[in-house]
Amino acid sequence: MSLIHRTTLSPTKLELLTEWLPRQPWYAGAGGRPELTKAGGFRLDDPQGEVGLEFMVVTDADAAAYHVPLTYRAAPLAGAEHALIGTTEHGVLGTRWVYDGTHDPVLVGQLAAFVRGEAQAQAQSVSDTPDPTVGRSWTGPAQAPAPGSGTVADGPDGTTDVVLGSGPAERLVLRVVRALRPGAGTDAPGGGRLGHVDARWQLPDGAEARAVFVTVHDGTPGA
């Protein structure tokens, strides 16, 4: 169950992302500090109830939209120092370590489960409330392989590829779309796509946009 605490964070998520986002290769800003606004997203549940899993959308002052999967942990994730976005003080839970979720095996595993229809999307800001607006499809094998190790790489066109499985015969790629464009990827699957996740966010003018957040493919990173 996604339990949302109504409390303080210091620094806030947006403050952490303001420092982290410009250093990413898929950030399209022209320099200077981003002016970020939370624009949408959803959550998944960790079956163990230990790790917070959020798929956040933020918009910049130029209206560019970015999809940032985040995980929140009560202790550092071993071997993931390079993926640490920062730490924050939670008014109820204390110090939380915030990670780029593409490098966190709990998020990757639950994302794969959601794509296959084995997990349910949860509302981003309301406790224990499913979000039926988050779409998914799956035409791949009944069971996806487990996440591999050290298998995250920049993909094409502002994406991040996360490999599932350790051998070519069982390898799948979760392609996380970082730079969102309204309507992108919502047409019929193609190009070897086995599954997808699509969701919505709010544009600066108040209109609602929707696009594919994640696709799943056979292959290797950058394919």
Structural contact between residues 98 and 87, judged by C-beta atoms closer than 8 angstroms: yes
Percent of the chain surpassing pLDDT 90: 65
Q: Quick one: which H or E segment has residue 18?
A: helix 13-20
Q: Strand, helix or coil at 191?
A: coil
Helix (H, G, I), strand (E, B) or coil at 209: strand
pLDDT of residue 223: 46
Per-residue pLDDT at 222: 47
pLDDT at 31 over 80: no
3-state secondary structure of 151: strand
**Distances in whole angstroms, Cα of residue 10 to Cα of each of 56, 88, 129:** 18, 5, 26
Q: What Rg value do the Cα atoms of the chain yield, rounded?
A: 16
Q: Which one has a higher pLDDT value, 128 or 70?
A: 70
Task: Using the predicted structure, report yes or no on whether residue 208 has a pLDDT greater than 50.
Answer: yes
Predicted pLDDT of residue 215:
95
Long-range contacts of 187-190 (CB under 8 A, 24+ apart): 189/137, 189/139
Compute the mean pLDDT over every residue in the chain, rounded to the nearest whole number.
Answer: 87
- What pLDDT is stored for residue 166 in this prediction? 67
What's the pLDDT at 134? 98
Instruction: Tell me how far apart the alpha carbons of residues 48 and 135 are, in angstroms, rounded to a whole number.
Output: 24
Tens of pLDDT, residues 136-156 = 999 987 776 666 555 888 877
pLDDT of residue 221 exceeding 50, the answer is no
pLDDT tens for 124-140 read 988 789 999 999 999 98
- Vertex 168: Cα angle to 162 and 169 (nearest 5): 115
> Left (φ > 0), alpha (ψ -120 to 50) or beta: where does 219 sit?
left
Q: With bands split at pLDDT 50, 70 and 90, how would you rate the model's confidence at 157?
A: confident
Taking residue 12's Cβ as centre, other Cβ atoms within 10 Å add up to: 13
Domains of the chain, by residue range, sit at: 9-218
Give the per-residue pLDDT at 5: 57
pLDDT-based confidence at residue 220 (cuts at 50, 70, 90): very low
Distance, in Å, from the CA atom of 185 to the CA atom of 156, rounded to the nearest integer, reads 14
What are the φ/ψ torsions at residue 34 (nearest 5 degrees)? -65, 155
Say if pTM beats, i.e. exceeds, 0.85.
yes
